[in-house]
Amino acid sequence: MTTGPQGRIYDEFAKLMNDAAGLAQSAGREVSSAFRAQGERFASELDLVRREDLETVQEIATRALAEVERLSARVAELETRLAHGEVSHSEAGAGTIDGP
């Protein structure tokens, strides 16, 4: 501490600034916490999905699309063969879904 009236004023001013800085930090944390809580509340109302779940569904859809394309090609091949008399109706129906 500084001696004398002017030193005391500086000490009091420093203490006041220190208290104000602490109060500002506390208020900042409180505002940050309130914004975070509001953001979480808002996000929960949007019915969002987790990224992991989205990626899983995208992978399933990609596999399903590939299977549809494979089966479409198989059907087109069988229709062509059937139209040219290379395969009878009973043979065309005897194939499995998984492949020729």
Per-residue model confidence as pLDDT tens digits over 51-84: 999 999 999 999 999 999 999 999 999 999 998 8
Q: How far is CA 48 from the centre of its chain?
A: 8
pLDDT for residue 87 = 72
Partners of 96 in beta bridges: 99
pLDDT for residue 41 = 87
pLDDT for residue 10 = 85
Query: Under 8 Å CB-to-CB from 87, ≥6 apart: which residues?
Result: 78, 81
Share of the chain above pLDDT 90, in %: 39
pLDDT for residue 85 = 86
pLDDT for residue 96 = 55
Q: Please state, in angstroms and rounded to a whole number, the distance separating the CA atoms of residues 54 and 46.
A: 15
